[in-house]
Amino acid sequence: MAVSIQNKKAHFRYFLTDQFIAGVVLFGPEIKSIRAGKANIAEAYCKMIKGELYVINMNISPYANAGYIKISERRERKLLLNRTELLKIERKLKDTGVTIVPVRLFINEKGWAKMEIAIAKGKNMGDKREDSKTKDIQREIDRGLAD
């Protein structure tokens, strides 16, 4: 059972350039909720705080059998990257209009929660319309070939 939670809005809203795979620091009930597919990264973004990368506004629903442990659904969660990757991200963030967005949250083959993040630059409305047109044209071509 492969868990993969996508951020579908990321490809629509941003031009994604460099991508990284980061580990996520979680508590026990949080990882169980992710394995159940009860997480949402659509409104999440990443932020550098004191040289470390955190994911902000990621929603992980509370696990039903968590017991007495109360964990905030939208708390800041630390992302684990090596120093060279952090420095590269920090250098890229100095440009204007650049942010870091989570693209995918998944469980790897060892059972660890990983997040695919990307350095992103916002699209304007014209770019979004152009992407929609190309997707529609490609869909029509695929339908024509399938018939």
Q: What is the CATH number of domain 4-146?
A: 2.40.280.10
Whole-number pLDDT of residue 78:
92
* Furthest C-alpha separation in the chain: 57
Measured distance CA(41)–CA(5) in Å, rounded: 8
Measured distance CA(113)–CA(29) in Å, rounded: 13
Whole-number pLDDT of residue 56:
92
Closest CA to 36 of 122, 142, 133, 107: 107
User: pLDDT in tens for each of the 147 residues of the chain?
Assistant: 578 888 888 888 888 888 999 999 988 888 888 888 888 888 898 999 998 999 999 988 888 777 777 777 788 899 999 999 999 999 998 888 889 999 999 998 898 999 999 998 887 777 778 878 888 888 888 887 765
Whole-number pLDDT of residue 21:
94
Whole-number pLDDT of residue 119:
92
Whole-number pLDDT of residue 121:
87
